[in-house]
Structure 1
Amino acid sequence: MQSFINESKRIIRKASENNKLVIFVGAGVSANSGYPSWTSLVEEFARGLGIDTQNISSEDYLKIPQYYYNSRKEKDYYDVIWDKFNVNVKPNDIHDAIFKLKPYHIVTTNYDELLEEAARNQGVFYDVVSKDEDLPYTLNNNMIIKMHGDLKNKNIVLKEDDYLSYFRNFKLIQNYIKSLISTYTILFLGYSINDINVKYIFQWVKDILGNSFQQAYFLENNQNKKFNQVEFDYYKNRGINILYYSETDEIKYLKKSIQFKNLTDERAKNTCIFLRYILDTDSLNKINIDYAYERLKNLNNLNKIFFQNIIDALDLETPFEENDGTIVYSHFLLEKESLELNTSIVTNLFLEIKEYDNKLNKFNKCEDYKEKGELKKEIDFSKEIKVNLIKQVLYKAGIKKIVARNENYIKEVLSLHRKSEGLEKERAIEYSFELNINLYDKMDELEEYISQFDYLNMYRCLDDMKLEDIDGNEEKFFNKAYLLYKLGEYLQAYEVLKRLSQTCFLNKKYYLYFISEFNRYYLGHAISTFNIFSISMLGIHEDIQKEIREEIRKIDLDNIYLKLPSSNRVKLLFLKDILNLKFVYRKIRDTADLKEKVEKNKDNIYIGKGSSDGEIHKFKKNIEDFWKFITKNRLMLDNYKELEMVFYNYIESALLSHMTKYIEEKESILGLPGKVIKLKKIDGFTLFVMVNYSNIKQIKYLFEKYDVQSIKLEEKALEFVQDTYDNVINSILQKKNILEAKQILNKFIYILSRIDVGKELFIRLIDGFLKVIDNYSIELDKLYENLLIFIIKQNNNFKENISIEKIEEIFNYMIYKISSNLEKDRNFYKENTAMNFIRQIAFIMDNINQDYKFKDDKNLKLLIRQMEVEMHLYILEYTLIPVYKLVYGNLNDNEKFNKRHFSVYYKAVIDKIILSSVELEEKILEFINKQAILKNENLEILLLNIAYLILNDLIIQSDKFYKFKDNSEKFSFLIDIANYNYDNFELEWIFKFSDELHGRVYKCEKAKIIIKEKFQQYIIQNECEKHTKNIFFRYYN
């Protein structure tokens, strides 16, 4: 109960400081100044009527003033009231204490003016509102609201009719009070817990707002009344937290120190003491195990915690004033894994934990039965769970050691010694607690797979998670959804999250529900914004995409927190930073600041600092914690630019620091040795971040900006390279998350070009390339380009790594691919890319060893023969161009018109060397007729050339060629796009169209619609090249 009271005290005090405290003042407060209580006033009416009140219920008490009013009428009714209030009284100590709490408003059911007088005495300004007409004309922000009227206006609420007609007579005041209760922190003073007024007030609000209003606080000032769990829970469910005076441990020392001016009643004194207790900063400055446990236990739901989460949860105020008046601006100083304590309030907490651990250790080690029994009496074993949870939370924030350095305070508690010279020697008490490292320090299996791009093992984990029932397996399903997300199975991940959210809410697992809905919203948003090509590659139909888009529109993340039961909201307050992405935006700002510091301090000479100090190492730790926070808590944010910005800032800073020239001075300006602190070697995590959170354009830009020619790796990072490369290659070979794996491979090879990989790993990398190259069709040119850069850079910077035999293997493979391409349907784009690659490889081989002889040159000889034929035809055609005019006469006169004559005519007309000729068209017509009869295999090529001439208006009598439409579907399509029978259309035709021809097709609405439909089906069913995608989005989407 004490921890609950401590927390309630903190909330009330904070509300006071933030103008959010409203105090309700009952008759009990005025009664201690000499005015009648509500009960004694009613009993006065009962005596006038001869009624015995001993056995009358509180509800019947309302009827007694009503009986008197009905019997004696208004004058006699008010005479009784005036007689009771016509006494000379003054505000008491409770009134003074109320105003020291600085309430925003005071609401009272009292009719007297003691509150107004107390306000004047203390020099504070409160407007008085005792009837509806007063409310609109208040000038001050602060009010004393006399909700039951006052004697001056003769509008008091006392008899039954007054209560029944209250809404009509005090409509504005009643509604205003309801709004206060729903949004402000409420403290009741001077009331009995059974007071009819308290019941009515809360019933009003409950009828309108249900349970969605602030919990109020009620002081039970009877020091003999012990905590009653049944009573406590009953009123808590009605919106009232009872604070039992008898359960407040720290209040006793206050009682002795307070001098009361005009209070004699013990319960009244207790009320005053409690108000002083709320104001007491000394008692506020005590955090114990119970308090820390209550504030941190829900934070422990997170698998990784930011230290700032702990500070926010403990609600530690700064600047902080110590007992001696010293002002401290931070309770902690976090250095790597060590937490330094700066104030007595936090030092006390860890000393208490240390003392508890010492007792527990002594008990566990004790072998004497009797002594162990005595030790057992001194230990509260219920605290063991609390202490362990506090340690877990700290450990999840990366803290492994606690150091206390507040010298004066620690010396007093731990009796540290002074130096003989009489000067204070700086000493430190270190308190390191042990935790289960396996649980909290080790990277979990899934994180390890993610950080090494081990998609095969991720799929294996997924296979092991074949669970049917979510109920009872919520955590496992949460991990399953995250695995699906990391493997690019977005639709499946979304569906799992959808089911998970429903189950978690029903089972009141609100933390998981919260994160699940957060992930569903951001994942659903990503799916809903994908273009048609992306969703087809992901296997998501357009109708499903539209359905998801509608579903996420209904997810209001701002309301998810507010929709949780009110009792759970405070417990999950730390999640609001996740909900609104505040933690990401804060990290963007922090990393921008750190980046600026790294840039500013890169050339500074540091004295007396280790190699792992400096801004860049703080930055690295900061980013590692951020990645762990996202990954361990399974947040699905990889698709968002905001996240990329955070990691980009670190990548740039890491490269800047790594490329900074290292300087070490034996003697600096101060006469001491100093050095530049830089990132001497890149670790595996930094490599992972570079590959995972940046694209190749960004990496190339940064490498160029900082002239990155060589990157030095830590020894373990080279192991990371080997394992990760193997994982990516195996994923491509097994076709597991193949698109993602290919992108990773491209970036990886480019980054490795700047790293001394050694000969063994060089060979391994080339072998991997040769294994996967046949799996590529998309972005093949990028793979060639990056592998070429890798080989060139390795040759330039790390010649000893080069294996010329492996380069020959690549060379022979590429020659074989080009030879095969020349023999089949030619793809000039791929052929040209491959030829450029071969030229560069040949140059490198020559540079390495000019006398090197190929072990196997049969593919090279075959390619040379093929290229000789191609070159002969090329030279033959183009040396004829200058004599086309002379040949024109021969073409016209030649009786035997053949393919070569047609080729010469076609080229001459296209190049505008000669004009179209009716006579030659007749010869061509006759020639094509013969080819059609003979069913010559070259007929379609001839007709396509004719179609090209027709489309460019270079055929004079084009209608004569229409008769060949049945000989070639492609020819039929080209010469009559609008009327073509598209049932026979083949999509492959358009891949060789010129831009001009695509433009013609695009202008025909019928053609455009039909081709678009065929194109969409093609994209869904096939792995498309970039060129193909560009055609679709440029002309047909």
Structure 2
Amino acid sequence: MLGKEAVEQLKFAMDSNSLVLFEGAGVSVNSGLPTWSDLISELKQELDVPENQGNLNSLKIAQIYYDIWGQQRYNEKIRGVFEKYGNARPNEIHRLVREISPRHIITTNYDTLIEQSLSDSITRYDVIRSDTDIPYSNSDHYLIKMHGDFKTNNFVLKEDDYLNYEQNFQLVSTLIKALLLNNTVLFIGYGLGDSTFNAIFNLIQTLLQGDAKKAYFFSTDEMSESEIRYYENKGIFVINQSDFGFKNLGKGESNIEFLNLLEESVIDGVSDSKTLDKRLSDIKSIDFLPTSDLFNLLRFQMPDVFVGRGLEIDCFNPEKTINISKYALEQISKQTAIKKFLGMDISKEQSFQRKGNYFLSDGVEKVLSGEDARAWFRKKANESYQNKDYWHFLIAEYNLTRLESRGFLEPDSKRYLMNLYMGTFL
């Protein structure tokens, strides 16, 4: 079934940092913003055009309004429609997109909900609203507002905007084409009948054939086999919501459930040098990042974990010990502008122990032998506090809390070690 195969391909693109997400108006609608149909309906009312006027499409309606009333009133009208929804906030779809962290996001929306959602994301996206933004971008992650926005008053809506798009957005258009050639594309929040999508489709369809990577379109509308085949021949693979049993859900809910499938596949932890390097590429230009954010970005994922100034893998099995602490710090120093981490000057030589934290390692032995380690960790916490050894105090307190709240299953369970944190010495 194409749906399941498509998800696997999209997961691969996410893992290889080669996913480009096209985000349409359907995403903003979930935050209560008007649809394009709502916007055009307001223009029709002022123009006194009957709703059932069949020979005028949305682009022509916007063009007629502009031609009659001029640019200033046209701009004010479009702004006014959106200002009615000034309390709109990013929704669950925005959050999932942030978690999936595509390499690039391209949108035809004028609103700022995507920017708001990405404001606290570890991955930093440079916003491209017009050709003049491109020379000043120094990021390898873009949020491209290919139809402009209200900040620059260059929004694309009327017929002339679409006809002259390549001329008015020459560099943006070239950039988008380059990204489409080298990345896997996912459209979400669009309808195949939308004028906005069809304008994009006409712009890029020749690129989505031959050696170009695939493009996928998640549809919340049921599609006939012939329609699906038509777009597939043009390089776009349609994923039906019914492929995943979302048939009885609303459009917004279907988008959320689909993105949940992708979000579940996000690699939670760094387990090898290749993944580490990929994660660090997201913060190359950053010279300061809170420790908590850096850990959230890297999320080291090992059989036996650390929390401290180094990372030990299988630190209680010396034969299998692999120490990537030094490598991790070296790469943070080399690949980013960050020079200090956890109080260390990582540009200087650091020394690492290959085994666990001996001050606390007896606690692990007690757990493995079936003893109740709570009293032992309480004693170590008190002892550390009295000696003003706050580092070990915090680690002991943390493990004590986990012991008391979780129980850790059977004492000899390896799963226990997934939750026990040991500081390593430098």
TM-score range, shorter chain: 0.5 to 0.7
Q: d(CA) in 2 for partners of 1:266 and 1:83?
A: 28
Q: d(CA) in 1 for partners of 2:33 and 2:18?
A: 30
Q: TM-score, normalised by structure 2?
A: 0.59
Which residue in 2 is equivalent to 1:239?
235
Q: 1:69 is matched with which residue: 66, 77, 90?
A: 66
Q: Do the aligned residues in 2 keep the contact of 1:104 with 1:143 (CA within 8 Å)?
A: yes
% identical aligned pairs: 36
Give the partner amino acid of 1:72. W
Give the Å deviation of 1:209.
7.0
Which residue in 1 is equivalent to 2:394?
none
Q: Do the aligned residues in 2 keep the contact of 1:189 with 1:219 (CA within 8 Å)?
A: yes
Which residue in 1 is equivalent to 2:129?
130
Q: Which whole-Å deviations, capped at 9, do the CAs of 1:776-834 have from their partners, x for residues lacking one?
A: xxxxxxxxxxxxxxxxxxxxxxxxxxxxxxxxxxxxxxxxxxxxxxxxxxxxxxxxxxx
Give the Å deviation of 1:280.
2.4
Give the Å deviation of 1:228.
2.9
- Alpha carbons of 1:240 and 1:206: their partners in 2 closer, same or farther (altered >3 Å)? closer
Q: Which whole-Å deviations, capped at 9, do the CAs of 1:540-563 have from their partners, x for residues lacking one?
A: xxxxxxxxxxxxxxxxxxxxxxxx
Q: d(CA) in 1 for partners of 2:201 and 2:195?
A: 10
Q: 2:225 is matched with which residue: 217, 222, 229?
A: 229
1:39 is aligned to 2:37: yes
Q: d(CA) in 1 for partners of 2:24 and 2:143?
A: 13
Q: Do the aligned residues in 2 keep the contact of 1:35 with 1:84 (CA within 8 Å)?
A: no
Where does structure 2 lack aligned partners over 5 or more consecutive residues?
267-300, 304-312, 314-426
Which residue in 2 is equivalent to 1:382?
none
- Alpha carbons of 1:56 and 1:7: their partners in 2 closer, same or farther (altered >3 Å)? same
Q: Which whole-Å deviations, capped at 9, do the CAs of 1:239-265 have from their partners, x for residues lacking one?
A: 11111111215x79xx9xxxxxxxxx8
- State the SS of the aligned residue for 2:177: helix
- State the SS of the aligned residue for 2:119: helix
Which residue in 2 is equivalent to 1:278?
262
Which residue in 1 is equivalent to 2:19?
21
Q: Do the aligned residues in 1 keep the contact of 2:11 with 2:265 (CA within 8 Å)?
A: no
* Residues 560-709 of structure 1 aligned to structure 2 (within 5 Å): none
Q: Which whole-Å deviations, capped at 9, do the CAs of 1:383-413 have from their partners, x for residues lacking one?
A: xxxxxxxxxxxxxxxxxxxxxxxxxxxxxxx
Q: d(CA) in 1 for partners of 2:231 and 2:80?
A: 36
Q: d(CA) in 2 for partners of 1:186 and 1:275?
A: 14
Q: d(CA) in 1 for partners of 2:199 and 2:302?
A: 42
Give the Å deviation of 1:176.
1.0
- State the SS of the aligned residue for 2:205: helix
Give the Å deviation of 1:320.
11
Q: Which whole-Å deviations, capped at 9, do the CAs of 1:302-322 have from their partners, x for residues lacking one?
A: xxxxxxxxxxxxxxxxx999x
* Residues 572-971 of structure 1 aligned to structure 2 (within 5 Å): none
Aligned length: 270
Give the Å deviation of 1:281.
4.3
1:206 is aligned to 2:210: no
Q: d(CA) in 1 for partners of 2:250 and 2:3?
A: 21
Which residue in 1 is equivalent to 2:114?
115
Which residue in 1 is equivalent to 2:250?
266
Q: Do the aligned residues in 2 keep the contact of 1:22 with 1:184 (CA within 8 Å)?
A: yes
- Alpha carbons of 1:185 and 1:94: their partners in 2 closer, same or farther (altered >3 Å)? same
Q: Which whole-Å deviations, capped at 9, do the CAs of 1:745-792 have from their partners, x for residues lacking one?
A: xxxxxxxxxxxxxxxxxxxxxxxxxxxxxxxxxxxxxxxxxxxxxxxx
Q: Do the aligned residues in 2 keep the contact of 1:148 with 1:155 (CA within 8 Å)?
A: yes
Q: d(CA) in 1 for partners of 2:265 and 2:180?
A: 27
1:60 is aligned to 2:57: yes
Q: d(CA) in 2 for partners of 1:37 and 1:114?
A: 15
- Alpha carbons of 1:167 and 1:14: their partners in 2 closer, same or farther (altered >3 Å)? same
Q: Which whole-Å deviations, capped at 9, do the CAs of 1:997-1037 have from their partners, x for residues lacking one?
A: xxxxxxxxxxxxxxxxxxxxxxxxxxxxxxxxxxxxxxxxx
* Residues 95-494 of structure 1 aligned to structure 2 (within 5 Å): 95-207=94-206, 211-222=210-221, 225=222, 228-248=224-244, 266-281=250-265
Q: Which whole-Å deviations, capped at 9, do the CAs of 1:8-66 have from their partners, x for residues lacking one?
A: 11110111111100000111111111222112111111111111233536x72101111
Q: Do the aligned residues in 1 keep the contact of 2:208 with 2:214 (CA within 8 Å)?
A: no
- Alpha carbons of 1:281 and 1:131: their partners in 2 closer, same or farther (altered >3 Å)? closer
Q: d(CA) in 2 for partners of 1:192 and 1:66?
A: 22
Q: Do the aligned residues in 2 keep the contact of 1:235 with 1:241 (CA within 8 Å)?
A: yes
Q: d(CA) in 2 for partners of 1:80 and 1:211?
A: 43
Q: Which whole-Å deviations, capped at 9, do the CAs of 1:64-113 have from their partners, x for residues lacking one?
A: 11101111111211121111111221000000011111100100001111
Give the Å deviation of 1:186.
0.5
Q: d(CA) in 2 for partners of 1:65 and 1:194?
A: 18
1:81 is aligned to 2:78: yes
Give the Å deviation of 1:212.
4.2
Q: Do the aligned residues in 1 keep the contact of 2:104 with 2:142 (CA within 8 Å)?
A: yes
Q: Do the aligned residues in 1 keep the contact of 2:20 with 2:102 (CA within 8 Å)?
A: yes
* Greater radius of gyration (CA): 1
Q: Do the aligned residues in 1 keep the contact of 2:217 with 2:236 (CA within 8 Å)?
A: yes
Give the partner amino acid of 1:268. G
Which residue in 1 is equivalent to 2:91?
92
Q: Do the aligned residues in 2 keep the contact of 1:218 with 1:242 (CA within 8 Å)?
A: yes
Give the partner amino acid of 1:275. L
Give the Å deviation of 1:168.
1.3
Q: TM-score, normalised by structure 1?
A: 0.25
Give the partner amino acid of 2:167. R
- Alpha carbons of 1:121 and 1:208: their partners in 2 closer, same or farther (altered >3 Å)? closer
Give the partner amino acid of 2:71. E
Q: d(CA) in 1 for partners of 2:69 and 2:41?
A: 16
- Alpha carbons of 1:174 and 1:28: their partners in 2 closer, same or farther (altered >3 Å)? same
Q: d(CA) in 1 for partners of 2:92 and 2:136?
A: 31
Give the Å deviation of 1:279.
2.5
- Alpha carbons of 1:281 and 1:183: their partners in 2 closer, same or farther (altered >3 Å)? closer
Q: d(CA) in 2 for partners of 1:209 and 1:24?
A: 14
Q: Do the aligned residues in 1 keep the contact of 2:105 with 2:142 (CA within 8 Å)?
A: yes
- Alpha carbons of 1:126 and 1:5: their partners in 2 closer, same or farther (altered >3 Å)? same
Which residue in 1 is equivalent to 2:7?
9
Q: d(CA) in 2 for partners of 1:104 and 1:271?
A: 19
Give the Å deviation of 1:121.
3.5
Q: d(CA) in 2 for partners of 1:101 and 1:210?
A: 26
Q: Do the aligned residues in 2 keep the contact of 1:62 with 1:158 (CA within 8 Å)?
A: yes
Give the Å deviation of 1:207.
4.4
Q: Which whole-Å deviations, capped at 9, do the CAs of 1:657-710 have from their partners, x for residues lacking one?
A: xxxxxxxxxxxxxxxxxxxxxxxxxxxxxxxxxxxxxxxxxxxxxxxxxxxxxx
- Alpha carbons of 1:183 and 1:56: their partners in 2 closer, same or farther (altered >3 Å)? farther
Q: Do the aligned residues in 1 keep the contact of 2:209 with 2:234 (CA within 8 Å)?
A: no
Give the Å deviation of 1:210.
5.5
Give the partner amino acid of 2:73. D
Question: 4+ runs of 1 displaced by more than 6 Å?
Answer: none
Give the partner amino acid of 1:241. F
Q: Which moved more, 1:135-144 or 1:148-157?
A: 135-144
Q: Which whole-Å deviations, capped at 9, do the CAs of 1:323-356 have from their partners, x for residues lacking one?
A: xxxx9xxxxxxxxxxxxxxxxxxxxxxxxxxxxx
Give the partner amino acid of 2:30. N
Q: Do the aligned residues in 2 keep the contact of 1:149 with 1:157 (CA within 8 Å)?
A: yes
Give the Å deviation of 1:202.
2.5
Q: d(CA) in 2 for partners of 1:269 and 1:161?
A: 35
Give the Å deviation of 1:119.
0.3
- State the SS of the aligned residue for 1:22: strand
